[in-house]
Amino acid sequence: MTKPLRPTRLLLALAILAAIALPASGCGTSTADIERGRVLFKQKCGTCHIMAQAGTSGTIGPDLDDAFGPARAAGETGSTIEGVVRAQVENPRPITDNPAVSMPPDIVEGQDLEDVAAYIGEYAGVPGAAPPTVPGGPGAQVFANTGCGTCHTLAEAKAGGVTGPDLDETLPGQSAAMIHQSIVDPGVKLAKGYPDVMPSIYETSLSPKELKDLVAYLVESTSGKSKAG
């Protein structure tokens, strides 16, 4: 029997690959929830990664806007970035100079991974990306933009982070000056039971007005609450 012509074999191969890739990509049937992905990213990834739309400021892992911005500018699609994210989460590259802080494999799995990957694919490296506008005034917006809720609980902001102290418990009774110092020089006085992991960047990364607005918001949001023992 005569072998198929080379172009025919190529077309058959491409057709097979397309048939395999279509369900894998979820094209037309995606169940990814981008908003849920944002919440999961802030909880699971934001303590290590910077991403403007999430308002996260972690510095242990790569800045995802810097990492994906050039590829996006070169025409790569969000679905391509999603695929990269899935592969990296499932089989993360170790940080060779400090393996102890390398990302653990499968930090999110299943539907959680689909949602996080879709979120990063939608917003990482997008010029001008910023957190959604929140109610509560300028200080509340700074709190959201800076990603404070990634690590801290604050009822007023509907934030439920657990890496750092619960602000509803630790801030009542503190003066504006004390809160200011905790933000710009967090290692000076640590809350009991919490490690010294908060970045010391906010005195320079925030403008004086932003810092003042943030402190005022935290004072107002926690005033009148009982201070934990």
Q: What is the CATH number of the domain that holds 178?
A: 1.10.760.10
Q: How far is CA 141 from CA 44, 78, 138, 172, 221, in A?
A: 21, 27, 5, 21, 13
Q: Going residue by residue through the chain (229 aa), what tens digit of pLDDT does each one get?
A: 444 433 333 333 333 333 333 334 444 446 899 988 988 898 789 888 999 999 887 888 899 999 999 999 999 999 999 999 999 999 988 766 666 668 888 899 999 999 999 999 999 999 999 888 999 999 999 998 888 888 899 999 998 888 899 999 999 999 999 999 999 999 888 888 898 888 888 898 889 999 999 999 999 999 876 555 4
Domain assignment present for 194? yes
Kindly state whether residues 147 and 101 are assigned to the same domain. Answer: no
Among 182, 191, 170, 173, smallest CA distance to 214 is for 182
Domain boundary among 123, 151, 182: 123
How many domains are there within the chain?
2
- Structural domain span for residue 182: 138-222
Q: What is the pTM of this model?
A: 0.60
Domain assignment present for 13? no
Kindly state whether residues 114 and 67 are assigned to the same domain. Answer: yes
Domain boundary among 123, 154, 184: 123
Domain assignment present for 115? yes
Question: Is there a contact between 203 and 211 (Cβ–Cβ < 8 Å)?
Answer: yes
Q: Which residues have C-beta within 8 Å of that of residue 168, sequence separation ≥ 6? A: 153, 154, 155, 222, 225
- Which tokens in the block code for residue 29? 């049937």
